[in-house]
Structure 1
Amino acid sequence: MAESTWEVAERKKLTFDDPVTALNVRIVNGTVNVVGTDEAVLNEQGGARLEISHVEGPPLIVTKNGSTLTVAYEDLPWKGFLKWLDRKGRHRSAVVSLAVPAGTAVEVGLVGAGAVISGMRGRTDIRGVTGDTTLVGLSGPVRADTVSGNLEAQAVTGDLRFQSVSGDLTFIEGAGSSVRADSVSGDMVIDLAPAGKPTELELTTVSGELAIRLPHPTDARVEANTASGTVSNAFKDLRVSGQWGAKKITGTLGAGTGTLRATTVSGSIALLRRPPAEDEPHDTVPVAADTKEL
């Protein structure tokens, strides 16, 4: 299949009749929106769609090579993306929106830009220098590497890997089988959905704070450590040890089929309990009665 290329320096809409199975977007400043759509719906509308509603600075290069669609600056390669620094970048901006088949593999690179990615079933790979990313309803595996960008994931059921220097992670209504996150100073808020499959949580940060809300009931082997921060625990079946310096929360909840490992050097750790039913008023849960804080 022949390669097709467009140089886009102003507002433009493109529709692609041929299949799209891989998407790569790399922009500086601005916004990226990617929506996964049923292929039958896309076929009715003419195929995958791209809308570039704003371009400032050098043009974006749009390339369709086989089933791979790329929207990027010519001088911004995917390899070594997190090390890209260019003073000219401050004079660039673009707003890019795409509707692609939900099974498409997605790669998004962001320098000072924000992104919203929703409804994807394929693999999603994000690299961000700065700029925040929101993921909604993704069922495929997710890998996110940022320098200072924050990541918010809502109703994500695929495995999540997050690595950052100072970016925060917020994982809401998560139901994936595995969440692994590493940060130097970023905070992490993890909220697992009820009735989900057993989950492996591995969270590590140097100075960031960790807040983890688990379903009630839940099944997990728990080991949470902080060298100098405070800890709070809302589960009677878990043991809090350590009075001075290092503190630890350990024990087994339910059958212990899942795993929770959380480590921070100077940050605090809070283990919270989700109400048995989400429609139950939050203040009916006797959290204060069985919460121990050191």
Structure 2
Amino acid sequence: MSEWSVAEPQKLTFDTEVRELRVRVVNGTVNIVGTDEGPARLEVSEIEGPPLLVTERRGTLTVAYEDLPWKGFLKWLDRKGWNRSAVVTLAVPTGTRVEVGVVGAGAVVSGIRGQATIKGVTGDTTLVGVSGPVQADTVSGNLEAQAVTGTLRFKSVSGDLTVVEGSGPSVRADSVSGSMMVDLDPEGPTEVSLASVSGEIAVRLPHPADAEVEANTASGTISNAFDGLRVHGQWGAHKITGRLGAGTGKLRATTVSGSIALLRRPPRDEESAPWEAETPRDTDTGAGTVPAPADGSTDKKVL
């Protein structure tokens, strides 16, 4: 086993093959890039507070604080221990299995084909071009996934989920108050299951779509851009059901008080600007807002 204590900006290169990466930081930034060129590399460009302990053992590279264990990570609420910061950049083989834990730090993971496990207390995470399975759990941290082609699992108390051009086989998300905005562009059938207590849910499906759909809210509003779906309920609880295309995929969305919007992507040969998920549109009922489609279409049924 090789071990380093990093108390100041430093660069390290690892001659052994890295198959698993574990990173745990408080405040600052973590950048992880998958690459097939050269050995694994680490750069700590900024660091304040206690040193980071870097260890390499039998193909597992760990960059973490000694007093910040992975087990029980989301319950690490020692505020005195938050007085630290580091900016860490790692380049590892694309097939590396990645575990990232952030407390107040931002994390970006790109170009990874191995399994990615994310835990965040308050830090936000961005995934770009990740093709392996993803499991993300946060307290209030947000997750943005761009062009992710593997399975995606997300669980949070109040963190938001944003998926842009998602083409993986499945997306499952659970949140208490976080919003979910999922833009799908799959090559084949996709299973999507989204559940929130009070957060808003917006799903943009390709046109033509191919899915069995069931979406319901107890007291929120519903917006539907597909003529082939049936909307049930005029007052109180609302539900959307039906089949789009052959119905080989599945879409399930459930909220208690949040709104639900089913939007339609333009045909691929007509696509231009990416979906601007942050742009809300007031519904007629005044019970919440839902995102508007980027193509400006208004053929939506709102209840």
TM range (shorter): over 0.9
| 2:61 aligns with one of 49, 54, 69 | 69
What amino acid does structure 1 have at the position aligned with 2:200? E
Give yes or no for the alignment of 1:268 onto 2:278.
no
Over the matched positions of the two proteins, sequence identity in percent amounts to: 72
What amino acid does structure 2 have at the position aligned with 1:107? E
TM-score by length of 2: 0.91
Cα distance between partner residues in 2 of 1:126 and 1:67 = 20
Question: 1:250-265 residue pairs with structure 2 within 5 A?
Answer: 250-265=241-256
Cα distance between partner residues in 1 of 2:253 and 2:294 = 28
Cα distance between partner residues in 2 of 1:263 and 1:8 = 46
Cα distance between partner residues in 1 of 2:75 and 2:17 = 32
- 2:209 corresponds to which residue? 218
What amino acid does structure 2 have at the position aligned with 1:183? S
Give yes or no for the alignment of 1:49 onto 2:41.
yes
- 1:241 corresponds to which residue? 232
How much does 1:288 deviate? 2.6
- 2:34 corresponds to which residue? 36
Does the residue aligned with 2:199 lie in a helix, a strand or coil?
coil
- 1:293 corresponds to which residue? 302
| 2:122 aligns with one of 130, 142, 155 | 130
Cα distance between partner residues in 2 of 1:266 and 1:284 = 25
How much does 1:88 deviate? 2.1
Give yes or no for the alignment of 1:192 onto 2:184.
yes
What amino acid does structure 2 have at the position aligned with 1:28? V
How much does 1:21 deviate? 0.1
Cα distance between partner residues in 1 of 2:295 and 2:147 = 24
| 1:150 aligns with one of 142, 149, 154 | 142
How much does 1:85 deviate? 1.4
Aligned positions, number:
284
- 1:177 corresponds to which residue? 169
| 1:108 aligns with one of 95, 100, 104 | 100
How much does 1:90 deviate? 3.0
Does the residue aligned with 1:82 lie in a helix, a strand or coil?
helix
CA deviations over 1:176-224 (Å, ceiling 9, x no partner): 001000000000000011x521100000000000010000011100000
Does the residue aligned with 1:288 lie in a helix, a strand or coil?
coil
Q: Measured at CA, do residues 285 and 49 of structure 1 come closer, stay the same or move farther in structure 2, by a change above 3 Å?
A: closer
- 2:6 corresponds to which residue? 8
Cα distance between partner residues in 1 of 2:152 and 2:80 = 33
Question: Structure 2, unaligned stretches of length 5 or more?
Answer: 274-292
Question: Structure 1, unaligned stretches of length 5 or more?
Answer: none
- 2:16 corresponds to which residue? 18
Q: Measured at CA, do residues 166 and 214 of structure 1 come closer, stay the same or move farther in structure 2, by a change above 3 Å?
A: same
- 2:286 corresponds to which residue? none
Question: 1:154-173 residue pairs with structure 2 within 5 A?
Answer: 154-173=146-165
Give yes or no for the alignment of 1:207 onto 2:198.
yes
What amino acid does structure 2 have at the position aligned with 1:53? S
- 2:79 corresponds to which residue? 87
Cα distance between partner residues in 1 of 2:109 and 2:100 = 9
How much does 1:284 deviate? 11
How much does 1:86 deviate? 1.3
| 1:120 aligns with one of 79, 102, 112 | 112
Does the residue aligned with 1:196 lie in a helix, a strand or coil?
coil
Q: Measured at CA, do residues 237 and 76 of structure 1 come closer, stay the same or move farther in structure 2, by a change above 3 Å?
A: same
Does the residue aligned with 2:81 lie in a helix, a strand or coil?
helix
How much does 1:55 deviate? 1.0
How much does 1:91 deviate? 1.5
Cα distance between partner residues in 2 of 1:286 and 1:148 = 31
TM-score by length of 1: 0.94
CA deviations over 1:244-281 (Å, ceiling 9, x no partner): 11000000000000000000000000000000125456
How much does 1:285 deviate? 6.5
What amino acid does structure 1 have at the position aligned with 2:34? G
